[in-house]
Structure 1
Amino acid sequence: MPTTHLLYLHGFRSSPQSTKARQVAAHVAQHHPGVTFWCPQLPPSPRAAMALVAGGIATWPQGPRMAVVGSSLGGYYASWVAQQARCTSVLLNPAVHPARDLERYIGEQTAWHNPEERFFFRPEYIAELQALDVRHLPPAGPELLIAAQGDELLDWREMVARYPQATQRVLPGGDHALSDFARHLPEVLAFCDLA
């Protein structure tokens, strides 16, 4: 049963304007015009972000008709969404321990694609991140992990250890942004099995 609904979740300080999000959106629009695609701007609060997503996909078909792609912090969120929706997930350099790694970002931050836009990453968001941790649960659907060994922000070895049952693509070199994402886009969308 092909996928009719695709969700893309961007990373920390990122937005739907990210290169990867735009590449996915353009490819879906051109090659899969019947597929519903949504890439929401996620608020800084993890609880609010997942409430927004849960509301947005409430009328979507669950299970094999839906897939989620997440990058960095969005990958962490994607694993939570996949548990709720019992769907396929693709994890692009996913954050594995965001409650640990984002503590040093508590305070005022700038948005990556619009440096004039500022937001506060609050101390209580750490507990909100912890509440979304689903690593103790078996995968709810097929998982594809793409991990770059050259990721300058996150450790690819933690990603590989976190997703032992995933189809794993460990890339030599590369970077956190997956600057060569266009090369991996066909595999990502093939894995999602878009209608």
Structure 2
Amino acid sequence: MTKEILQLVYLHGFRSSPNSSKAKLTGAAVQAKIEDGAALQWFCPQLPPSPQGAINLVLNHLQNAKPANVAIIGSSLGGFYANWLAEYLGCKAVVLNPAVYAARELAPYVGQLTQYDSNEPFDFKAEYIDELKALQITQITMPERYFLMAAKGDELLDWHEMVDFYASAPQLVLDGSDHGLSEYSLYLPQVLDFVCAGR
């Protein structure tokens, strides 16, 4: 009997890209598992500035996928998207320093911006804040589907809010560290163990 493939989706953060260090580290680790025979499929797209556009991109990729065969890993704004997708699809999600209240966090950034990795310019429109508000999850259901990695040293987001938001979910709260999770490679095996558990 053929093993069903786990669709593993990585969603980068605001102004970031698939070239971020965490995305590349995760992709390399997944590829190594695939070469060892794991039934995994990797999807790490460049997300558009529009939050609803980002959600639509992922949903289009996951058409007809069973919830049990999907796992989302989201960093920062990608963690916010992961919340909505996990609730909508009923799948697992790993959230890395997630922006749990993204509309509030990103409202000051409306205007012309550039991508961190490429300096590519883009327009972050006021209407995107409305899209974020529409995608806000007020409370997660089935906390066991989620795994939070939060850094007390996050210089951009409040780790207390993260811990409270995912109160009943498995959590790894790091003393120190930073928003980018500099030590992510040390904890990546735990991330993959969570998403692949039971398979």
| RMSD over aligned Cα atoms | 1.6
Whether contact under 8 Å (1:86, 1:140) holds in the other structure is: no
Runs of 4+ in 1 over 3 A off after TM superposition: none
Indicate which of 22, 28, 31 corresponds to 2:30: 28
Distance 1:4 1:49, change over 3 A: same
Aligned length: 193
Which residue does the alignment assign to 2:114?
Answer: 110
Indicate which of 41, 44, 50 corresponds to 1:45: 50
In structure 1, C-alpha distance between the alignment counterparts of 2:151 and 2:110, rounded to whole Å: 26
Which residue does the alignment assign to 1:63?
Answer: 67
1:78 aligns with 2:82: yes
Structure 2 residues not aligned, in runs of 5+: none
**What amino acid maps onto 1:68 in structure 2?**
I
**What amino acid maps onto 1:177 in structure 2?**
G
1:190 aligns with 2:186: no
Which residue does the alignment assign to 2:135?
Answer: 132
TM-score, structure 2 as length reference: 0.92
1:18 aligns with 2:20: yes
In structure 1, C-alpha distance between the alignment counterparts of 2:136 and 2:4, rounded to whole Å: 28
In structure 1, C-alpha distance between the alignment counterparts of 2:110 and 2:94, rounded to whole Å: 28
In structure 1, C-alpha distance between the alignment counterparts of 2:144 and 2:129, rounded to whole Å: 27
TM-score, structure 1 as length reference: 0.94
In structure 2, C-alpha distance between the alignment counterparts of 1:28 and 1:39, rounded to whole Å: 11
In structure 1, C-alpha distance between the alignment counterparts of 2:5 and 2:154, rounded to whole Å: 30
Point out the more displaced range, 51-60 or 75-84.
51-60
In structure 2, C-alpha distance between the alignment counterparts of 1:110 and 1:53, rounded to whole Å: 23
**What amino acid maps onto 2:97 in structure 1?**
N
In structure 2, C-alpha distance between the alignment counterparts of 1:32 and 1:138, rounded to whole Å: 31
Whether contact under 8 Å (1:3, 1:192) holds in the other structure is: no
Which residue does the alignment assign to 1:100?
Answer: 104
Identity %: 46
**Which secondary structure does the structure 2 equivalent of 1:83 belong to?**
helix
